[in-house]
Amino acid sequence: MSGRLAQFTAPITAVPEGWQPCWNLAPGKRILILRKAEGRLECASVLWNLTPAWLRQLDRAAFSAKAEHLHEKPMFGQALAQRRCLIPVDGFFVWQTQGKRKQPWYLRNQKGGLALAGLWERYSLDDGSYWDSCALITVPAKGLPARLGERMPVTLNSGEQAIWLAAATAASHLQPLLLNASSQASMMHPVNPAMSSPTTQGAQCCTPSGRVVVED
């Protein structure tokens, strides 16, 4: 499963003030999402760790959610119905177990960025302030990601993105949309294991350290 993302290309012209590109983005950091607000697409900077308004043990915040169980979990049910988003990324990382070590791989689309399916929430404080947060959604791996591990983030094509964000989409259609989505990651390559530390930053995190594999 991917617990690390690359988000170094602004998804739209107007990004929140203070946003900085990141080649090695870990849970607990701020991340850009795209969501519908009053009928238009909005880009927002949120915390990558989902914190519903009712959550009191913030160390239980989740950075990912399994598509198969979204309807069963109080943590995700309301957000699935009302607060769906896209997480625009340049790519994501998956660690492949090789004996006693784990080799990080970087996966991306050959023709541009990826749009990950996500959920967002708002946590309000007594003084009237608040923060927004998100989690990405995962499914059983298919395509290139299946060569590395058992799960992958949901990557949506343009038509699926519109359906996912539309308020009119019936709740019964959401889970099949996620589970049936094909992997949009069409290229992958190993990277330097140093990027396994979230303190390692820069374009070198995504630089190939071995053979590039392209989808057949």
- Residue spans per domain, the chain: 5-207
Condensed to tens digits (0 to 9), the pLDDT of residues 118-129 reads 999 999 887 888
Average pLDDT, the chain: 94
Whether the pLDDT of residue 97 is over 70: the answer is: yes
The answer to which of 55-59, 74-78, 107-111, 137-141 has the lowest mean pLDDT is 55-59
Instruction: State pLDDT tens for residues 27-82.
Output: 999 999 999 988 899 999 999 999 988 888 877 889 999 999 998 888 899 999 99
| 1 band by pLDDT with thresholds 50, 70 and 90 | low
Tell the CATH topology of 5-207. hypothetical protein yedk fold (3.90.1680)
- For 201, list phi and psi in degrees, rounded to 5: -130, 170
pTM of the model: 0.95
